[in-house]
Structure 1
């Protein structure tokens, strides 16, 4: 039911239990985080090689395609701002580095406001990232 149909109970429940956050992968056969010079550089510039080396072989998750319930998006955005505050990375595209770091380091797991994170493989959800 919509929020209007259930008197707003579903949104209230999402705020107390945590909402859903949906992340969308790019083409896994195109390049990994480490194979993509852009993604590798954003990650290593912000965090250093040692902090990110364990997930350079992982699929790129697109920062520009993030959906979720209000409470989860607010929590996600707070986490993204915190990454900027911590790293001071100002390179164009660092948001993608922050996004992948938060996902693969587990930085969003258990975050207040996020009850569930679903990662959609490329072409498997409502968004289809090419990421060549």
Structure 2
């Protein structure tokens, strides 16, 4: 399911993509709204869903969903950064929880809110948490990641029976690239296997050039696309929810 505010060339039956038109972008952007959309979409008969950003994500290889028995959320660390030393994440946490809050979680690894794998129960729990807190303390882009990290590191989710698995970068299905020193393309995990999901690829100029050229070639040879609409795809930031029964 692809959440969009306008026509998108990827909304095509031939690609098996269902698009949900949202209309105008809400005042706070998609950051907080997406958790409600995930919870609404990831329901039975689905047992596991993969929620991901769209604009800055590409897939290098198919992947099998990890065994989700007993796991409600699988979250992915960013490469080599902790909350207290990263200006963006520190700002998002401090704006709502002050300096004491920043010190409390400052040594914890940053968890990216742009790629999350979970069960319907897990996504509902996250959305319920967001609905239970005052989110007005932070209104800049990316604030939901501050709330998300605070939730993961300070709430007693384990007492509710919820299970969360933290995955190091380049160790699972997601490779979050913003702080990774890349040697070239394709992109690999630490064990030498191909990284199935590459997030934040547009932080690297050589990947931006390589991938956009390939995308243009693909679009030109696929009659189901409307090539002039390609520009719209890069001017919007919808989220993609990939479901697996």
For Structure 1 versus Structure 2, the TM-score category normalised by the shorter chain is: 0.7 to 0.9
What TM-score comes out, normalization by structure 1 length?
0.74
Q: Deviating runs (4+, > 6 A) in structure 1? A: none
* Partner-residue secondary structure (3-state), 1:60: strand
Aligned to 2:177: 130
- Contact 1:60–1:100 (CA under 8 A) maintained in structure 2: yes
C-alpha RMSD of the superposition? 2.5
- Contact 1:47–1:87 (CA under 8 A) maintained in structure 2: no
Where do 5+ consecutive residues of structure 1 fail to align?
1-7, 12-17
* Larger relative contact order (CA 8 Å, sep ≥ 6): 1
Task: Please say if 1:98 is aligned against 2:147.
Answer: yes
* Partner-residue secondary structure (3-state), 1:122: coil
Aligned length: 114
Higher radius of gyration, 1 or 2: 2
Aligned in 2, Cα 1:9/1:86: closer, same or farther, shift over 3 Å?
closer
Aligned in 2, Cα 1:86/1:96: closer, same or farther, shift over 3 Å?
closer
- Contact 2:83–2:107 (CA under 8 A) maintained in structure 1: yes
What TM-score comes out, normalization by structure 2 length?
0.42
Where do 5+ consecutive residues of structure 2 fail to align?
1-43, 48-69, 180-245
Aligned to 1:3: none
Task: Please say if 1:27 is aligned against 2:79.
Answer: yes
- Contact 1:20–1:117 (CA under 8 A) maintained in structure 2: yes
* Partner-residue secondary structure (3-state), 2:79: coil
